[in-house]
C-alpha cells in the first residue's frame, strides 16, 4: 500500500511540476507591430481588466471586447460596461453563453466574424493562457495574440494548476468542439 501511495504522490508531483511550466511560465505572445483589430478581456479575475485597458492606452487596438461579469465579482468591469461609453476606443460588452472560457471563445469568434477582425489580443490570467488559446483556436478564424496578467495572488496561482489540468483534460476529451 505504501508503494501505491508513493507512486501516486510521485505522479502528482510530476504533473504539478509540468503544470507549473505549462500554465504559470508561458510567455506572452509578441504584440503585432501594426496593431490588432481588438482586445478581448476574459472574465474570472478582476486583475485582467487593468492589463486590457493598458493595452488600449498603448493603442494596440481600438476595440475592447469585455466579457461581462457581475458587479460583485468585478466592480470595475461592471462600471466600465454599464457607465458612460469611452470616446477614445470602441467598447463592446457581452455576456458569454455559457459563462465559461468556451462561451467566451464562441462570443469572441462571433464578434470577429461580425466585425471582420483578422487578429485579436486575448487577455486573461497567466495560468489560463494555455487552455484559453486552445479553446479560442477552435472557434475563431483569426490570429490570436495571448497576453497574461501575473497580478493574481500566489495562492490563486498555486490552486489553479490542478484546476487547469482538470479543465484541460475535459476540453480535450469531452468538450472537443467550439
Q: What is the pLDDT of residues 153-164, one digit of tens each?
A: 999 999 999 999
**Domain 2-173 carries which CATH code?**
3.40.50.620
Q: What is the pLDDT of residues 8-63, one digit of tens each?
A: 888 888 989 999 999 999 999 999 988 999 999 999 999 999 999 999 999 999 99
Q: Give the pLDDT mean for 61-80.
A: 93
In the three-class reduction of DSSP (H, G, I as helix; E, B as strand; rest coil), residue 92 is classed as strand
The grid coordinates of residue 64 equal: 475592447
% of the chain beyond a pLDDT of 90: 81
Please give the pLDDT value at position 9. Answer: 85
DSSP 67-85: E---TTT-HHHHHHHHSPP
Confidence of residue 130 (pLDDT cuts 50, 70, 90): very high
Helices 75-82 and 48-57 cross at an angle (nearest 10°) of 50
Mean pLDDT of the chain: 93
Element (H, E) at 41: strand 38-41
- How far is C-alpha 157 from the chain's CA centre? 14
| Residue ranges covered by each domain of the chain | 2-173
pTM: 0.91
From first CA to last CA, the distance across the chain in angstroms is: 42
Amino acid at each position: 500500500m505504501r508503494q501505491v501511495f508513493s507512486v501516486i504522490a510521485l505522479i502528482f508531483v510530476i504533473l504539478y511540476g509540468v503544470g507549473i511550466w505549462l500554465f504559470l511560465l508561458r510567455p506572452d505572445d509578441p504584440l503585432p507591430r501594426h496593431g490588432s483589430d481588438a482586445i478581448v478581456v476574459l472574465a474570472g479575475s478582476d486583475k485582467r481588466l487593468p492589463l486590457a485597458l493598458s493595452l488600449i492606452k498603448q493603442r494596440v487596438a481600438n476595440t475592447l471586447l469585455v466579457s461581462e461579469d457581475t458587479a460583485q465579482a468585478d466592480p470595475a468591469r461592471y462600471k466600465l460596461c454599464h457607465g458612460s461609453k469611452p470616446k477614445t476606443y470602441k467598447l463592446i460588452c457581452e455576456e458569454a453563453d455559457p459563462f465559461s472560457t468556451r462561451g467566451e471563445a464562441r462570443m469572441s469568434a462571433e464578434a470577429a466574424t461580425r466585425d471582420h477582425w483578422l487578429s485579436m489580443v486575448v487577455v486573461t490570467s497567466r495560468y489560463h493562457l494555455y487552455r484559453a488559446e486552445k479553446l479560442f483556436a477552435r472557434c475563431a478564424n483569426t490570429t490570436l495574440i495571448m497576453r497574461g496578467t501575473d497580478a493574481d495572488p500566489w495562492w490563486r496561482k498555486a490552486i489553479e494548476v490542478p484546476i487547469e489540468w482538470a479543465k484541460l483534460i475535459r476540453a480535450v476529451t469531452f468538450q472537443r468542439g467550439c
